[in-house]
Amino acid sequence: MKPVVPLRFADGTPSGFNLTADILQPQPAGGVWCPAPGLARLDARELVPARNGERMLFHRGGWGFVGQDSGSAVHYGHILASDIDTSGLKFQRIDSVSGLPSVPRGKWIEARTLPWAGKGQAAGNGSACDGLSVSAMTVRVRSIPADMNYLSSRQTSSIPYAIYGDPSEDLGAREDRTRHIKYTLLEWSWINVRGGGVARALVKEGEKFFPCTDVPSIVLASVSDAQSKHHTGWVSAIYGAIPTADNGRLYGWMVSAHRHGGDPVIFHLTN
């Protein structure tokens, strides 16, 4: 990887944040973490065209790095394939391995930096819909309050909805939050399914979003924490598409609105 790698929106324009080796310090925890410092964690399911005809892969930020908290979350974004090595490491799951809870069930193997279709894609995650609206909505990046969370698949821990609101201003290092760079996320699938909520692309303030009229919206309650499960409001998500540099489309789920307690509804997508 180059010393400084710009993180980009789906159309290839820089988000304003960069990847550098010093922030890519893996933190062993639940799930799968990078095996060594300085490695970018890539979602290698697809190559997306940039404005200059180059191709991009999506860097999966968030937790999993030193600190393992909202103050150390690394930013998401697409990166140019030319900014990274042509080969890397791929995690190969081995179901027969029964290690300790903190040990990933699998191993890292050398692999080319090429798209590897995942099970989710085979199941339809991120697929085009039949009823894509010709009228675009406008993305409004809005914060989601800190006490609005959803429960993990095992219902034993809570995850902040803030990830899908305005994560660049509400999560991450303080010096990053004060730069007031706004983005939200487009997801492969929504959090109502096991393993859902995985980001597919960054979405900028004012971006066009084309909703799918043939896919029902999903409204889920939020809770304060996993112990009390006290309801604090609700969050609505809809399926649709954002434009890419080649006049194509990336499909996925986005938060469309939320309501915190008895406060007015906050819209993340407007007509």
Residues 23-71: tens digit of each pLDDT: 887 776 656 677 778 888 888 788 898 887 889 999 988 766 665 555 5
Whole-number Cα distances in Å, 201 to 59, 73, 223, 242: 9, 16, 26, 9
The answer to whether the beta carbons of residues 64 and 75 sit under 8 Å apart is no
Task: Give me the pLDDT at residue 98, please.
Answer: 47
For the chain, give the mean pLDDT.
86
Q: Answer whether 0.75 is exceeded by the pTM.
A: yes
Contact 84/75 with Cβ under 8 angstroms? no
**Is the confidence at residue 123, as pLDDT, over 70?**
no
Looking at the predicted structure, is the pLDDT value of residue 173 above 70? yes
Q: Domain residues of the chain, as ranges?
A: 1-116, 119-271
* pLDDT, position 97: 47
Whether 74 has a pLDDT exceeding 90, the answer reads no
pLDDT, position 72: 54
Tokens of 234: 């609700």
* Percent of the chain clearing pLDDT 70 (strictly above): 85
Mean of the pLDDT values across residues 257-264?
98
Checking phi first, is residue 40 left (phi over 0); if not, alpha (psi -120 to 50) or beta? beta
Of the pLDDT bands very low, low, confident and very high (cuts 50, 70, 90), residue 115 is low
Beta-carbon contacts of residue 42 (< 8 Å; ≥ 6 apart):
57, 58, 59, 60, 79, 84, 88, 113
Q: Say if residue 104's pLDDT is above 80.
A: no
Dihedral of CA 144/175/62/86: which sign?
positive
